[in-house]
Structures are given as structure tokens and as C-alpha cells.
Amino acid sequence: MKRLLIPLIAICLAGPAVAGPLRLGIWEAAEPYFIRQGDEWTGMCADILRAVTANNPRQQFVLPTQAMPVRRVEHEMLAGRADLVCGARITAARQTAGMQFLRVPIHITSARLAVRADDPIQIRQWDDVRQLGDKGIVLIVQGNSEIERLQRDGIRLDAGSPSGEQNIRKLLAGRGRFFYARESYFHYVAPKLKEFSQVRLLPVSFDSGGIFLFAAPHVPTSTVEQLNQDLQQLVKSGELARIVRSYEID
């Protein structure tokens, strides 16, 4: 069977043209949107892109050989060396940079806070965290789209680690009071970590919002509009909802 998604071997040699397949940028800790399995990428976004190509064979996608930090992916997009990201939140900074978000989110998710299982603390709102001061350090994955907003709101963050797994280990080591991540991460990825049995999820959800695909500024608006139509077709057919349900993250 012909593969619909092929590895990107020479992303650094590619220019800004997008006449051929759209080049994906994938950042670290992108599960369950992209999951590395050997030499292949699987995951919700990989399935969505395959479904788009199945309906519209002219629209092909090329995946990178490796993931990068979020800031590096955004730099590659602004430099014209990557065209598309899947699994992202809309932020003012990305909009100011000219990133083109598709109209329809692939799904809606919220964020949760995790604490050590033996920590009795209960949180109802961000103000409860803020009032803890230095005793309320929140671990968050490096490059997370909510970092600037949370800092503006007076939340004390540690954003030094590039993965959720590292942050869970830091949490258990007492190097933070909370770990902040999407519910999709806690529902799909974290339970696979042996350390997760030592963690407790607080019941309150924060920061509900859509998860989107977005194109780099250099991608023609006609291409973005075609992607909008392709995604809308998946919505109408029920295929998008089926893919999301298959990952049991909502």
C-alpha cells in the first residue's frame, strides 16, 4: 500500500515554495497528535492528514524525520522551511506573526493540574495557585502556548523541560507543586508512564479551547482555503469525530 505520509529527509534544503506536498512541523511532546513509533509517525493528526489525502489525493503532506522544540518549529515556519502544524492553540503571538489558522478546530480540550498523590491540596481557580507564591510553582512544557498568559496573570512557572515525562519526574522530585498540561495529555499519554501512578489529577479544568491546524505565512491563501474545505468535509462525513474518539481523549 502506498504511504500517504512520507518522511522529510532534507527539510533544511527546502525553500519556501509549497507547490508540492505541505511540509509539517512537529514539536516535541506532541502526543497524542503525533506519536513516534519506530521510523513512523502515528497519532490523531497523522490520521487526520491521511483522511484528507484519501478524500483529496492532490493534497499530500510530508512529515519530518524528528520533532523539534516549539520555538524551533515556529522559526522554521517563519523561515519558509515548514508549512503546516497540527495540534496547536490560537495565540495572539502566532496571529501577529501571520500564522493562518484553519476555521474548524480538530477538537476542544481543556487543561488540568497534576500534583503528587500524597499532596492533599485542592485548587478551585488560578487565584488559589497564585496565592501560594513560591510554594505554588507550576511545571509546564517548554514552549507551551499558555506560558506568557499565565506569567502575566502572576502564576509562577518552571518552563525549563521539553517534555511532559520530564515534568512528571520533576513533580515527584519536589521541584514543583503542580504540573500543567492538556487533558488530552493526561488522558492518553501520561497513563502509559510508570510514574503516573504516583500522581493525582485535580478535578477542576482550566483554559478550555480549540486545537487547530495552522499554516505558515508564506502558504498561499488558496491552499489554506482548500485545507479548510478538506477539513470541513471530514466534519460533515463524521470522519473527524471518529478519529478523535478513537484516541479516547475527550
Whether the upstream peptide bond of residue 32 has omega within 30° of 0, thus cis, is yes
Are 12 and 95 found together in one domain? Answer: yes
Query: What residues contact residue 2 under an 8 Å CB cut-off, 6+ apart?
Result: none
* Alpha helices per DSSP H over 92-238: 92-96, 126-130, 147-152, 164-172, 183-184, 221-237
Are 163 and 181 found together in one domain? Answer: yes
Are 223 and 171 found together in one domain? Answer: no
Are 70 and 181 found together in one domain? Answer: no
Are 72 and 184 found together in one domain? Answer: no
Give the Cα separation of 155 and 128 in Å (integer): 10
Return the pLDDT at 10: 37
Q: What element of type H or E holds 7?
A: strand 5-8
**62 strand-pairing partners:** 6, 23
Q: Are 97 and 74 within 8 A, CB to CB?
A: yes
Is this structure's pTM higher than 0.75? yes
Query: What residues contact residue 78 under an 8 Å CB cut-off, 6+ apart?
Result: 97, 216, 217
How much is the CA Rg of the chain, to the nearest whole Å?
Answer: 19
Are 86 and 44 found together in one domain? Answer: yes
Return the pLDDT at 107: 93
198: containing domain: 109-208
Average pLDDT of adjacent 10-residue blocks, the chain of 250 residues: 42 52 92 91 97 98 93 95 96 95 96 97 96 96 90 96 90 97 85 89 94 98 98 98 86
Q: Which three cell numbers stand for residue 122?
A: 485542592
Are 37 and 95 found together in one domain? Answer: yes
Return the pLDDT at 242: 97
Are 16 and 94 found together in one domain? Answer: yes
* Domain count along the chain: 2
Backbone angles phi, psi at 72, to 5 degrees: -70, -40
Return the pLDDT at 2: 34
Are 193 and 148 found together in one domain? Answer: yes
Are 10 and 84 found together in one domain? Answer: yes
Return the pLDDT at 11: 39
User: Residue 157 sits in a domain of what CATH number?
Assistant: 3.40.190.10
Are 44 and 126 found together in one domain? Answer: no
Pairing verdict, β 178-182 and 138-140: parallel
Q: Are 60 and 3 within 8 A, CB to CB?
A: no
Are 97 and 9 found together in one domain? Answer: yes
Return the pLDDT at 122: 94
Return the pLDDT at 194: 87
Return the pLDDT at 189: 78
